[in-house]
Structure 1
Amino acid sequence: MNRKNNIILIGFMGSGKTTFGRWITRTHNMEFLDTDEYIENKYNKLIKDIFRDSGEETFRDMETQAIKELAQVCDNCVISVGGGLPVREVNRSLLKELGIVVYLEASVDELVKRLSKDTSRPLLAGGNLREKIESLMTAREALYKDAADVIVKTDGRRFEDMYADIVSAVNIGIMED
């Protein structure tokens, strides 16, 4: 399979991976998959319940397994991955094999605005939301950039323009195998 047939969206919680991914699939005749939804459906359990009952490490193992499984079946797909999935080195390698990896970069201010009412994310529960986002971003941002073939800024941008950034990157040859 030509790895360029799939678009893999990575980035922090609230960066727009699912919303933008669904837009791409509607406007460009692709299939959409979300790794968190995939895991919830496979194990018939919400992510927050997996975290609570089995811990983060077990969930991260499930993410790695999900990427391996999706690699066997995905062609012409947009895949939105959980915010912590690219933290593991093995996952970053698997993502590169699966498709063009696009880091959706959002500012802390924008993430705070988008996530302020969201109670479904275990790593952001309780305490100061901005501090939690800043702490996680400090730990993850370099890993996101390491995993990415393309970095797309999202703050205040239209999906059409964000998608054009991806197409431009592919067309100028940054995606040499």
Structure 2
Amino acid sequence: KVKKNRKKCTAQKNNDLQSILANICSEEQIEEISKLIAESNTKEELHNSLAKVYKKQATDFYKLLRPRYLRLKGLQESENTCTADEDKTMTTQKAEKVVYHDVLSVKLDELLDGKCNKDELALIREAVIDATTKQQLYIRMVKEFKKEKGCDIYNKIKPEYVSLHKLASEIIK
């Protein structure tokens, strides 16, 4: 049973990595990056490991992984601690998180009038989850989408920031 639970956790982590890196990595690279995440203790260690293996591509990979590092690392840690009893709790928590995750995604998509693609929505969703202030959200939007588009996105979601952040905080719990 524990082995089966670890496979579920590993599959979830691999699905997350796949969705982040699918457009720029091969399956083998995604597996290698998964191992590098597991072996790293900090974002800096991950970046250094990526640089050793992937040289010039390392920075591109790291830019995509950095905002999601803690979540990916959390999945890795849960893989290492999955037990039969924990699995039931984790399954319940994941189900709750998925519901909030979907509600947050739907709300963001509505606010942005469906003008962002799936990958852009994922970046925005992560920014809303990570940002603890409107200013942090603004900075993240400008970094991710450049000034004009980042400001446009921020201005559309700013009026709903408090409710979005409340939804985001439910995802983290």
Fold agreement, TM-score > 0.5: no
Please tell me the TM-score bracket, short chain as reference: under 0.3
The structure showing larger relative contact order (alpha-carbon pairs under 8 Å, at least 6 residues apart) is 1
Q: Whose strand fraction is larger, Structure 1's or Structure 2's?
A: 1
Q: Whose helix fraction is larger, Structure 1's or Structure 2's?
A: 2
